[in-house]
């Protein structure tokens, strides 16, 4: 199942992290994709916080590559945080004790997963893609494994998601926009900004004059 989220601020990021943390179980892997500064480690921190882990322990393990965070209780699985940025292939994992880390007893959160794609588990692995849209805002795409859908906590995560995207027509250029376009429902970021400028400058036309009902809704 593919879910889309629009995070307007850090509070939204915390809510998504909390909802995701509630779904995760031992043996799950979340592959976190995104450019430098997209907020991958920030999201890991929100997941850890929601699972009762001391967030002071959470940092980007760029140089140590792997951090293992102890669970809040004996009944919870540990969280393993991997930053594969400095790795060149899955073969580099052998010296890190990968077989033990990926034995299914922990929750795995992996930054730069494309660098170790061959080593990722084939089951219960979700791919989460972060795209920067503003200083604290992000567009998120979460590709969930089918096994998650039967978990009771998954409903809250799904309710946070935007309605499923469908192909549409760009309201600015009139071009066809595929459902998976990064700038959806616009043909490009330039078209998105042009539309936003029209609203700010008062150039958008409306079908009828404003009346008191509209003003009440704004208030």
Mean pLDDT across the chain, nearest whole number?
85
Q: Is a pLDDT exceeding 80 seen at residue 212?
A: no
Instruction: Please tell me whether residues 6 and 88 are part of one structural domain.
Output: yes
Instruction: Please tell me whether residues 10 and 34 are part of one structural domain.
Output: yes
For the chain, give the number of residues. 219
pTM: 0.75
State yes or no: cis peptide before 145, omega within 30 of 0.
Answer: no
Instruction: Please tell me whether residues 6 and 92 are part of one structural domain.
Output: yes
Instruction: Please tell me whether residues 214 and 179 are part of one structural domain.
Output: yes
Inter-CA distances, 68 with 78, 81, 106, Å: 7, 6, 9
The mean pLDDT of 64-84, rounded to a whole number, is 89
37 by Cβ neighbours in 10 Å (0-12 / 13-18 / 19+) ranks as exposed
**Residue at a domain's end among 140, 160, 180:** 160
- Per-residue pLDDT tens digits for 123-154: 899 999 999 988 899 999 999 999 999 999 99
The CA-based angle 145-146-148, given to 5 degrees, is: 75
What CATH number is given to the structural domain containing 9?
Answer: 3.40.50.300
3-state secondary structure of 10: helix
Give the whole-angstrom CA distance, residue 180 versus residue 141.
10
User: Taking a C-beta distance cutoff of 8 angstroms, is the pair 144, 66 a contact?
Assistant: no
Give the whole-angstrom CA distance, residue 164 versus residue 172.
21
Q: Is a pLDDT exceeding 90 seen at residue 12?
A: yes
**Which residues on adjacent β-strands are paired with residue 127?**
31, 143
Instruction: Please tell me whether residues 154 and 205 are part of one structural domain.
Output: no
User: Taking a C-beta distance cutoff of 8 angstroms, is the pair 144, 30 a contact?
Assistant: no
Nearest to 183 by CA among 17, 6, 59, 27: 6
- Per-residue pLDDT tens digits for 39-49: 999 999 999 99
Instruction: Please tell me whether residues 130 and 30 are part of one structural domain.
Output: yes
Residue 123 confidence (pLDDT): 84
- Per-residue pLDDT tens digits for 16-66: 999 999 999 999 999 999 988 899 999 999 999 999 998 888 877 677 788
**Which residues on adjacent β-strands are paired with residue 165?**
none
- Per-residue pLDDT tens digits for 145-196: 999 999 999 999 999 998 777 899 998 899 999 987 878 888 998 888 887 7
User: Taking a C-beta distance cutoff of 8 angstroms, is the pair 160, 5 a contact?
Assistant: yes
Instruction: Please tell me whether residues 121 and 143 are part of one structural domain.
Output: yes
Instruction: Please tell me whether residues 152 and 51 are part of one structural domain.
Output: yes
Give the whole-angstrom CA distance, residue 93 versus residue 113.
12
DSSP annotation of 45: H
Q: Is a pLDDT exceeding 80 seen at residue 67?
A: yes
Residue 104 confidence (pLDDT): 87
What CATH number is given to the structural domain containing 171?
Answer: 3.30.50
**Residue at a domain's end among 160, 181, 203:** 160
Instruction: Please tell me whether residues 156 and 169 are part of one structural domain.
Output: no
User: Taking a C-beta distance cutoff of 8 angstroms, is the pair 89, 117 a contact?
Assistant: no
**Which residues on adjacent β-strands are paired with residue 110?**
31, 82
Instruction: Please tell me whether residues 169 and 193 are part of one structural domain.
Output: yes
Instruction: Please tell me whether residues 180 and 153 are part of one structural domain.
Output: no
User: Taking a C-beta distance cutoff of 8 angstroms, is the pair 13, 7 a contact?
Assistant: yes
Tell me the residue range of the domain where 127 lies: 2-160
Count of domains in the chain? 2
Helical (H) or strand (E) element with 129: strand 125-132
Instruction: Please tell me whether residues 47 and 9 are part of one structural domain.
Output: yes
Give the whole-angstrom CA distance, residue 104 versus residue 102.
6
Percent of the chain exceeding pLDDT 90 equals 49
């Amino acid at each position: 199942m593919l879910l889309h989220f629009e995070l307007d601020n850090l509070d939204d990021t915390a809510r998504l992290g909390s909802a995701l943390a509630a779904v995760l179980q031992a043996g799950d892997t979340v592959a976190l994709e995104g450019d430098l500064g997209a907020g991958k480690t920030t999201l890991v921190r929100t997941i850890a916080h929601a699972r009762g882990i001391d967030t002071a322990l959470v940092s980007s393990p760029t140089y140590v590559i792997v951090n293992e965070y102890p669970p809040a209780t004996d009944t919870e699985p540990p969280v393993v945080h991997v930053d594969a940025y400095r790795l060149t292939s899955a073969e580099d994992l052998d010296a890190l004790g990968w077989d033990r880390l990926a034995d299914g007893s922990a929750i795995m959160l992996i930054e730069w997963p494309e660098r170790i794609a061959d080593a990722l588990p084939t089951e219960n692995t979700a791919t989460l893609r972060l795209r920067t849209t503003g200083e604290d805002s992000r567009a998120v795409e979460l590709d969930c494994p089918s096994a998650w859908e039967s978990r009771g906590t998954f409903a809250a995560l799904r309710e946070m998601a935007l309605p499923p995207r469908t192909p549409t027509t760009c309201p600015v250029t009139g071009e066809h926009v595929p459902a998976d376009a990064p700038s959806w429902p616009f043909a490009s970021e330039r078209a998105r900004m042009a539309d936003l400028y029209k609203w700010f400058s008062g150039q958008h036309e409306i079908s009828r004059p404003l009346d008191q009902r509209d003003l009440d809704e704004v208030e």
